Amino acid sequence: MPSERESGTARDQKVVLLKPRGFCAGVVRAIGVVRLALERYGAPVYVRKEIVHNRHVVEELRRAGAVFVEELDEVPAGARVIFSAHGVSPAVREGARRRGLGVIDATCPLVTKVHLEAVRYACQRFTIVLIGHQDHDEVIGTLGEAPECTVVVNSVEEVDRLEPPDPERICYLTQTTLSLDETSDIVARLAERFPAIQGPRAQDICYATQNRQRAVKAAASRCDLLLVVGSQNSSNSKRLVEVARRSGLEAHLVDDAGEVEAGWCAPVQTVGVTAGASAPENLVRELVESLRKHGFEHVEEMALEEEDVRFALPPHLESASSRAGTPSS
């Protein structure tokens, strides 16, 4: 981090703290599922993949007794396993059933919505164009609902190479954590090539992803630099950096305050700070405190809108939540 002398006088420097930021309802629910499962059943509780894409969250839950595995064959037969917020394919669910695993499903309800849309379109014999990143856990799970009729695209150029068997029976769905701007370009090109294309009845990109991107756009003209708290494998966090850069704002993704490089802040008067939907607020506070110590003493919050979305826990954990006094959001 820069010293005060390197970066100007303290009274000239400030932090603009974007709101909304950080945890979305799906992440709150998923983390709550793991914590309550540990309370109710005791350690170990197995979790397939990272429950959410944040290194600090995963490490905290690991210390509490969660065991994170890549595949189900790492889980002892008959044990309890939690599916992550990103969802899984039907093949994974069937694999859990065959091995007699007790499944606790922490899939975000907004991801489940996309899965159900994929099933509905597949039953109608549509070609499904899934807009997203091929190797992302969420896309892998959605693709698994109807792999024989689904194609994943991530660019306008990939849309131009599509040759569906029936251009009159084609639809699109999207990963929930994409950039609104890039997705709109792809959807527009799909509509140009396939005028009969159908889309989801409601936007697939989740409310939290949209809100955080809009906040970044609104703050772009007020800041010289944006720091996004989030892990490198967090899709929605990476999109925030991309949105900022497309708005002409220098931006960097950091896991925590320790990853901020001195050269980023040296010429800067105003630093914007936000966090991806899987990044905990304590990491934001630690980053702000670190910036304070290096001259950015004035902190103001820029609130775009309030979020009040809550998702219920799985029914068999709701009673545990009530007994423990844990909120179900």
The H or E element containing residue 104 is: strand 102-105
Check residue 243 and report its DSSP letter.
H
Cα–Cα distances in Å, from 119 out to 3, 124, 142, 204, 241? 56, 9, 9, 15, 33
Contacts of 170 by beta carbon, 8 Å cutoff, 6+ apart: 126, 127, 129, 164, 194, 196, 197, 198
**CA 92 to chain centroid:** 21
Element (H, E) at 272: strand 270-275
- Where do the H-state alpha helices sit in 156-278? 156-160, 180-193, 207-219, 235-246, 262-265
Read off φ and ψ for residue 15, nearest 5 degrees: -110, 130
Structure tokens at 280: 């905990």
Q: Give CA separation, 48 vs 45, 62, 246, 329, in Å.
A: 10, 13, 35, 21
Q: List b or e across 196-206, with b for residues whose CB sees 16 or more CB atoms inside 10 angstroms.
A: ebebbeeebbb
Residues 271 and 291: beta-carbon distance below 8 Å = yes
Q: Which residues contact 60 (CB under 8 A, 6 or more apart)?
A: none
For tokens 């799985």, name the residue.
Answer: 314
| Separation CA 181–CA 301 (nearest Å) | 25
| Angle (deg, nearest 10), helices 25-41 and 55-64 | 10
138 in active site = yes
Catalytic member of 138, 158, 307, 318: 138
Active site residues: 138
